[in-house]
């Protein structure tokens, strides 16, 4: 579905998000969702007037399986280069275990909904990346949209937000979520499956002053209430939970 000019999202639901970013007829994909999203990609590209031949790069906000879904397939079948922050490369390659500590608080209905959604789309058997390039904090990437990397460790060590100034958009990955797949709670909050919640909250200071009206998370709806307000709500929710 169309999110904003130049930005589409694969899938009509906002449980697991994969974004398509267009710049001068070329496309960067930000996060690869779950494997089943691959079959939805051609129709979404067509809605942008593009095809998979226009996809120049796939950027991963971090190395969790519900973000690398179709990455290996796109790399292997279409020779699209895949990149992730250097601190999450081993996770994306499946060489280290998920650093997340358990599920945190859960509510059965939303959790089952998330699991069912991912299982139906191949989420239990996500191919690890055989090859992944890396980027560092502060880099401006030479791909469509020219995203700038903002490292936000906590959710995982290599979690990174990607700022696309020309689209007025900040892709936050799981630096925060606007929907908790484990509890069904809506609104800006620390994402489920976060390795170090205190570090994740501290990292939000790196996002506060980013000039973008649109924050696009890995899970949940787009946030249009301003980055500073999102950060304030995440901090508040985290403080209430402690």
Cβ burial, residue 206 (10 Å; 0-12/13-18/19+): middle
Q: Does 174 bind Zn ion (CB under 5 A)?
A: yes
Comparing CB distances to Zn ion, the nearer of 144 and 192 is 192
Distance between start and end Cα atoms, the chain: 36
Which residue from 49, 30, 25 is spatially nearest to 170, judged by alpha carbons? 30
Distance between CA atoms of residues 168 and 185, nearest Å: 26
Cα radius of gyration (the chain): 16
Closest approach, Cβ 142 to Zn ion, in A, equals 26
Closest approach, Cβ 179 to Zn ion, in A, equals 13
- Give me 219's structure tokens: 């899970």
Comparing CB distances to Zn ion, the nearer of 6 and 61 is 61
Closest approach, Cβ 156 to Zn ion, in A, equals 7
Region from 25-33, 76-84, 168-176, 197-205 binding Zn ion, contact rule CB under 5 A: 168-176
Residue carrying the six token digits 């650093």: 99
Region from 34-42, 59-67, 85-93, 160-168 binding Zn ion, contact rule CB under 5 A: 59-67
Helix, strand or coil, per DSSP, at residue 27? strand
Number of residue whose CB is nearest Zn ion: 64
Comparing CB distances to Zn ion, the nearer of 98 and 130 is 98
Q: Does 64 bind Zn ion (CB under 5 A)?
A: yes
Distance between CA atoms of residues 215 and 127, nearest Å: 28
Closest approach, Cβ 191 to Zn ion, in A, equals 6
Comparing CB distances to Zn ion, the nearer of 64 and 235 is 64
Comparing CB distances to Zn ion, the nearer of 64 and 163 is 64
Which helix (H) or strand (E) covers residue 163, if one does?
strand 160-164
**CB 158 within 8 Å of CB 199:** no
Residue carrying the six token digits 């899970």: 219
- Give me 139's structure tokens: 């880099």
Q: Does 50 bind Zn ion (CB under 5 A)?
A: no
Region from 18-26, 81-89, 173-181, 230-238 binding Zn ion, contact rule CB under 5 A: 173-181
Count residues binding Zn ion (CB under 5 A): 2
Comparing CB distances to Zn ion, the nearer of 22 and 174 is 174
Residues at the interface with Zn ion (CB under 5 A): 64, 174
């Amino acid at each position: 579905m169309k999110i904003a000019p130049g930005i589409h999202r694969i899938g009509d639901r906002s449980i697991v998000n994969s974004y398509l970013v267009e710049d001068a007829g070329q496309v960067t994909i930000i996060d690869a969702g779950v494997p089943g999203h691959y079959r939805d990609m051609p129709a979404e590209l067509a809605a942008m007037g593009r095809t998979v031949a226009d996809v120049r790069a796939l950027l991963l906000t971090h190395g969790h399986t519900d973000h690398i879904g179709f990455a290996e397939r796109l790399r292997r079948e279409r020779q699209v280069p895949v990149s992730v922050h250097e601190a999450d490369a081993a996770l994306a390659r499946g060489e280290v275990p998920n650093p997340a500590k358990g599920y945190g608080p859960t509510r059965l209905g939303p959790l089952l909904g998330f699991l069912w959604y991912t299982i139906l789309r191949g989420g239990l058997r996500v191919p690890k990346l055989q090859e992944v390039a890396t980027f560092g904090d502060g880099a401006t990437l030479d791909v469509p949209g020219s995203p700038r990397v903002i490292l936000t460790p906590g959710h995982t060590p290599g979690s990174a937000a990607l700022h696309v100034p020309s689209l007025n958009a900040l892709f936050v990955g799981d630096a925060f979520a606007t929907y908790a797949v484990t509890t069904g709670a809506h609104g800006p909050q620390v994402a489920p499956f976060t390795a170090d919640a205190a570090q994740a909250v501290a990292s939000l200071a790196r996002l506060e002053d980013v000039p973008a009206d649109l924050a696009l998370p890995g899970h949940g709806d787009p946030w249009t209430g301003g980055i500073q307000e999102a950060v304030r709500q995440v901090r508040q929710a985290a403080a209430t939970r402690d």
